């Protein structure tokens, strides 16, 4: 990276952090309760024929090329003071393997809950662990915690019992996060629970809830990619009080609701957690978008069309959110109080329980405005959203799908006569394409064209800025808010509020770029299997 580019990068990070942090008075807290995190968006070197089995030595040769890049980035991250560095899902081997063609890439990763092993200093202990050894030595050499994703082989007992979850070939293959401490010790191993068309991997017999402790930030939880959309283990970890999550991903972007950085921000805000998200960069697979998110700040990267296909290191200082760790020092207790006094006003911290959600579905509309008359249905991300157009330059609209209603107050800021169509959409139902997710969604979108049928289609750019208040009454406490502006710019919502009755309000004004999507993405986890 050139010096100019480096300066730009620092400016961007400083700008984002300071401008968002100053609102909540966190600047001083850096002294006592913050740490430096890094994520690397990796433009991986692929195996051009993933379905052809490789010998172990050919597979290793391939992975060493990606490990060489990891090594350079670990050095750069360390230079910038990083205490923890996260690499993406599939970043060493790639994807599209079959169950058998991936075999050369597999290592058997010992369970760090059962034994203490430093692969760098005790490399003779296990054969066939070259990748673990190299990662461990890297963490040690650069004196940082390191999280990488790799393929794990675990032998299992083949029983005569046909209901045994052990595959017929006598072993499991897991999509796995490994974590090394700054002296190279293997401290955590997490097997992905929610696979996304990965025929080379097995779902673990039980969902795993894996956390590890650090001396600089306390407890951190582990998830992988598709996991972020489901209750287990992601929301289960948050419900247990885990406030910092690490998220290696290989995320295929899908506008207008599930672009990588859009959902990363949404999750961090909705779950009130720090999220360290490292994505792959691969244009053919539409993969880009990584970041370091706290409930008050976002440092992120999203490549644009035409950008060179290359990696990106992000480094940011973030506050410690682990309540146990924070409680350890007097200095940081003040911090908690100050954050509380300025944060948005959730009045009820209870999550939605299955019974209460089902017994009392929301029936009233969130405002006295009757549902706007001319609604239409258009498909957004394969779901039939009920939409209403924004016909004036300012006003109020209301739209319902069944008893689930969304309400919008808006004022468009005139932008030199640009003609752009916007619509407010509501969806309550189960998304079933490429995974089952029960949803309640309110989304204000820019339609891709000037025809109503284009509402819900993908669009990346917009000129119209808007001041707005978007509101819905949800049957869940898990609502993930996001504001995506033109050319993949995130905006931090000015005001977010959750009322005890499930009403969520997101207010925003003074946008820096045109509005692409403003969304309240409610997840009805308790209905996923019905």
Ligand X SMILES: *[C@@H]1O[C@H](CO)[C@@H](O)[C@H](O)[C@H]1NC(C)=O
Residues that bind ligand X (CB under 6 A): 46, 50, 96, 126-127, 272, 284, 295, 321, 339-340, 343-344, 346, 377, 384, 386, 401-402, 428-429, 494, 509-510
Q: Which is nearer to ligand X, 264 or 274 (CB)?
A: 274
Sole residue written with tokens 């295929």: 252
Instruction: Please report how close the Cβ of residue 479 comes to ligand X at its closest, in angstroms.
Output: 11
- The Cα–Cα gap between 295 and 233 comes to 20
Q: Which is nearer to ligand X, 50 or 456 (CB)?
A: 50
Q: Which is nearer to ligand X, 38 or 428 (CB)?
A: 428
Instruction: Please report how close the Cβ of residue 364 comes to ligand X at its closest, in angstroms.
Output: 15
| Lookup: tokens for 486 | 């033109």
Q: Select which of 41, 89, 198, 420 is catalytic.
A: 89
Which residues have C-beta within 8 Å of that of residue 21, sequence separation ≥ 6? 27, 296, 297
| Lookup: tokens for 171 | 């072993």
User: Reduced to 3 states, what is the DSSP secondary structure of residue 7?
Assistant: helix
Instruction: Please report how close the Cβ of residue 382 comes to ligand X at its closest, in angstroms.
Output: 13
Instruction: Please report how close the Cβ of residue 243 comes to ligand X at its closest, in angstroms.
Output: 7
Instruction: Please report how close the Cβ of residue 5 comes to ligand X at its closest, in angstroms.
Output: 28
Instruction: Please report how close the Cβ of residue 260 comes to ligand X at its closest, in angstroms.
Output: 18
Asked if 328 contacts 52 with a C-beta cutoff of 8 angstroms, the reply is no
Q: What are phi and psi of 334, to 5 degrees?
A: -60, -40
- The Cα–Cα gap between 357 and 474 comes to 9
Q: What angle do CA 18, 21, 27 make, to 5 degrees?
A: 80
Task: Tell me the chain's radius of gyration from C-alpha atoms.
Answer: 23
Q: Select which of 107, 120, 130, 225 is catalytic.
A: 225
Q: DSSP for 232-291, please give it.
A: IIIIHHHHTT--EEEEE--PPPBTTTB-HHHHHHHHHHHHT-EEEEE-B-BTTTTB--EE
Residue 512: other Cβ atoms inside 10 A: 9
Q: Which is nearer to ligand X, 203 or 272 (CB)?
A: 272
225 is catalytic: yes
Instruction: Please report how close the Cβ of residue 160 comes to ligand X at its closest, in angstroms.
Output: 29
Q: Which is nearer to ligand X, 432 or 509 (CB)?
A: 509
Residue at shortest CB range from ligand X: 402
> In whole angstroms, what separates CA 40 from the centre of its chain?
14
Q: In what order do the strands lie in the sheet with 186-191?
A: 186-191, 171-180, 145-155, 84-86, 34-41, 312-319
Which residues have C-beta within 8 Å of that of residue 264, sequence separation ≥ 6? 247, 275, 277, 289, 290, 291, 293, 300
> In whole angstroms, what separates CA 113 from the centre of its chain?
26
- The Cα–Cα gap between 287 and 396 comes to 36
Q: Which is nearer to ligand X, 356 or 509 (CB)?
A: 509
Q: Which is nearer to ligand X, 206 or 415 (CB)?
A: 415
- The Cα–Cα gap between 152 and 155 comes to 10
Instruction: Please report how close the Cβ of residue 76 comes to ligand X at its closest, in angstroms.
Output: 26
Asked if 466 contacts 515 with a C-beta cutoff of 8 angstroms, the reply is yes
> In whole angstroms, what separates CA 458 from the centre of its chain?
20
Q: Which is nearer to ligand X, 23 or 68 (CB)?
A: 23
Q: Which is nearer to ligand X, 248 or 295 (CB)?
A: 295
Q: Select which of 192, 312, 465, 473 is catalytic.
A: 192
Instruction: Please report how close the Cβ of residue 350 comes to ligand X at its closest, in angstroms.
Output: 11
User: Reduced to 3 states, what is the DSSP secondary structure of residue 160?
Assistant: coil
Active-site residue numbers? 89, 192, 225
């Amino acid at each position: 990276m050139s010096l100019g580019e480096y300066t730009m990068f620092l400016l961007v990070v400083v700008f984002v952090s300071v401008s968002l942090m100053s609102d909540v008075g966190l600047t001083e807290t850096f002294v006592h309760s913050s740490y430096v995190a890094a994520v690397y968006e990796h433009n991986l070197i692929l195996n051009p024929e993933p379905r052809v089995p490789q010998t172990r030595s050919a597979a290793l040769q391939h992975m060493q090329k990606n490990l060489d890049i990891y090594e350079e980035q670990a050095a750069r991250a360390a230079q910038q003071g990083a205490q923890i560095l996260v690499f993406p899902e599939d970043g060493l081997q790639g994807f599209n393997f079959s169950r058998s063609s991936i075999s050369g890439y597999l290592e058997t990763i010992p369970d760090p809950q059962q034994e203490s092993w430093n692969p760098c200093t005790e490399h003779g202990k296990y054969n066939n662990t070259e990748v673990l050894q190299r990662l461990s030595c890297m963490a040690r050499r650069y004196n940082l915690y390191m999280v990488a994703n790799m393929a794990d082989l675990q032998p299992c007992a083949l029983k005569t019992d046909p209901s045994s979850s052990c595959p017929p070939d006598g072993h499991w293959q897991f999509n796995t996060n490994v974590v090394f401490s700054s002296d190279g010790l293997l401290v955590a191993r997490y097997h992905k629970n929610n696979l996304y068309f990965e025929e080379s991997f097995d779902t673990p017999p039980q969902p795993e809830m894996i956390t590890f402790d650090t001396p600089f930030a306390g407890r951190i939880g582990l998830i992988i990619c598709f996991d972020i959309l489901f209750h287990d283990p992601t929301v289960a970890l948050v419900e247990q009080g885990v406030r910092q999550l690490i998220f290696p991903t290989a995320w295929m972007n899908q506008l207008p609701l599930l672009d990588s950085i859009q959902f990363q921000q949404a999750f961090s805000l909705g779950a009130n957690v720090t999220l360290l998200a490292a994505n792959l960069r691969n244009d053919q697979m539409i993969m880009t978008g990584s970041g370091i998110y706290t409930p008050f700040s976002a440092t992120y990267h999203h490549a644009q069309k035409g950008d060179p296909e290359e990696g990106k290191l992000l480094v940011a200082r973030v506050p410690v959110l682990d309540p146990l760790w924070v409680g350890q020092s007097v200095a940081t207790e003040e911090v908690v109080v100050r954050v509380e006094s300025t944060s948005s006003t959730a009045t009820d911290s209870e999550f939605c329980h299955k019974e209460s959600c089902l017994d009392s579905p929301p029936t009233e509309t969130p405002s006295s405005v009757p549902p706007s008359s001319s609604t239409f249905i258009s498909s957004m991300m394969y779901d039939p959203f009920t939409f209403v157009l924004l016909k004036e330059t300012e006003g109020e609209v209301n739209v319902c799908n069944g008893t689930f209603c969304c309400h919008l107050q808006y004022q468009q800021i005139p932008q030199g006569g640009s003609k752009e169509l916007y619509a407010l959409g509501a969806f309550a139902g189960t998304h079933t394409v490429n995974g089952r997710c029960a949803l309640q969604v309110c989304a204000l979108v820019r339609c891709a064209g000037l025809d109503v049928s284009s509402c819900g289609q993908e669009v990346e750019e917009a000129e119209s800025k808007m001041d707005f208040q978007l509101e819905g009454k949800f049957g869940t406490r898990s609502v993930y808010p996001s504001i995506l502006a033109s050319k993949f710019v995130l905006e931090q919502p000015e005001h977010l509020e959750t009322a005890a009755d499930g009403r969520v309000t997101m207010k925003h004004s003074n946008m820096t770029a045109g509005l692409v999507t403003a969304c309240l993405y409610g997840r009805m986890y308790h209905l996923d299997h019905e």
